[in-house]
Amino acid sequence: MTQVDTAETGQGDTGRRDAGSGPWRAGLRRAIRIGSRPGPWQRGLVLAALALLLGLFMLLHAQIPNRIGNLGSLMETLLPWFGLSIPVLLAGALWRRSASAVAALLLPVVVWLNLFGGLLDDKSHPGSDLTVASHNVGAGNPDPTGTARTLAASGADVLALQELTQQALPTYEKELAKAYPHHTVQATVGLWSKLPLSGTRPVDIKMDYGPLADTKPIDTRMADNRALRTTVATDHGPLAVYVAHLGSVRVNPRAGFWTAHRDRGAQALGKAIAAERNDRVVLLGDLNGTMNDRAFDDITSQMRSAQDTAGDGFGFSWPARFPVVRIDQIMVRGIEPESAWVLPSTGSDHRPVAAGISW
Could you tell me which of 186, 264, 271, 270 has the C-alpha nearest to residue 229? 186
Q: What is the pLDDT of residues 40-96, one digit of tens each?
A: 788 899 999 999 999 999 999 999 999 888 999 999 999 999 999 999 999 999 999
> Which phi-psi region, left, alpha or beta, contains residue 155 (left: φ > 0; alpha: ψ -120 to 50)?
left
Q: What is the pLDDT of residues 1-16, one digit of tens each?
A: 445 454 444 455 555 5
Regions of the chain where pLDDT drops below 70: 1-22, 27-37, 206-224
On whether the CB atoms of residues 290 and 257 are closer than 8 A, the answer is no
> What is the distance of C-alpha 159 from the center of its chain?
23
Task: Write down the domain spans for the chain.
Answer: 45-119, 123-358
| pTM of the complete model | 0.85
How high is the mean pLDDT of the chain?
A: 89
On whether the CB atoms of residues 85 and 135 are closer than 8 A, the answer is no
Architecture of domain 123-358: 4-Layer Sandwich (3.60)
pLDDT at 39: 79
pLDDT at 251: 86
pLDDT at 20: 52
Distance CA 28, CA 191 (A): 83
Cα dist from 171 to 48, 137, 176, 177, 273, whole Å: 58, 12, 8, 10, 31
Which residues are CB-contacts of 305 (< 8 A; sequence separation ≥ 6)?
291, 329, 330, 331
